[in-house]
Amino acid sequence: MGASKQYKGKDCAYCGKLGCSSTNDHVIARSFFLDTERGVGLQIPKVAACQRCNNEKSELEGYIGSTLLIGSKHPEANRYRSEKIRPRLDRNQKLRKELNIDSPPVWTEINGLLQPMHAVTVDVDKINRLLQFIVRGLYRHHYHKPLPHDMTPDVSMIRPEAEASMWASVSHFFPPEAPRINCDLGRGSFVYSGVQSPVNEGFTAWTIGLHGQIPLHGQDGSADHWWCMTRPTPEAVAAARSHAGRPYEEK
């Protein structure tokens, strides 16, 4: 069965709409990897997607691939910047100017070598939106069904010193015997781990790192990966509270 038929008419992995998929989508963009890494050995998860979600995700991937990945700490980071990022920015002079990429770089030690680096301001909302897509795709790929409609991915950056306490706060949902997922695609190009609650299948926790753990600087300080949790939507929480507070009615 060809890929187009295999993924056509399925439930979209991203929005969950029934039977609307028209294409397959790589959960992690192929453009995030060097061409030499995209051989038979690199198995990027693929899912069914509707055209609307596929288009939106593709736009976000193009933006992230041209901005955030400038800070790559991958073993072949300079090659990635030369082969992937530079041509994109040459085609998008407006974005190049916004990033101020032509200003003098700061020499930074990466993988034991001094390399020229730029501090780039990236739209956090776009990063979070793309990671929400990715988490939904990983959920569909690993657990073989779309994320339930009453659950939503929550994305944040966690400082290294706060990560242990974060895991401790949710450890009762994820006992040690709960199966863990650990995957490294493209020698650190995309690294993720995930775990699913045995009590609520829609409740999952993920950590995601890009390109050798790119240094991230947000309101919570410095971090090098994202913490993503699928949790009940605000509407689902409100409905549960309303139901719990409803007075008992005799029949």
Residue 52's alpha-carbon distances to 28, 56, 147, 225, in angstroms, are 17, 6, 18, 28
| Chain segment 90-112, per-residue pLDDT in tens | 999 999 888 887 777 777 776 67
The DSSP call for residue 27 is S
Residue 160's alpha-carbon distances to 157, 163, 207, 221, in angstroms, are 9, 5, 12, 10
| Chain segment 176-234, per-residue pLDDT in tens | 999 999 999 999 999 999 999 999 999 999 999 999 888 776 544 577 889 999 999 99
Q: Which residues pair with 180 in a beta bridge?
A: 195
Show the tokens assigned to 62: 């193009």
Residue in this structure with the two tokens 């695609």, named with its chain if needed: 185
Measured between its terminal Cα atoms, the distance across the chain in Å is 55
| Chain segment 189-200, per-residue pLDDT in tens | 999 999 999 999
Show the tokens assigned to 213: 């753990």
pTM exceeds 0.75: yes
Q: What is the pLDDT of residue 250?
A: 40
Of 105, 130, 132, nearest to 119 by C-alpha is 105
| Chain segment 165-180, per-residue pLDDT in tens | 888 898 899 999 999 9
Residue type, position 89, single letter: L
The pLDDT-based confidence of 38 (bands split at 50, 70, 90) is: confident
Q: What is the pLDDT of residue 243?
A: 74
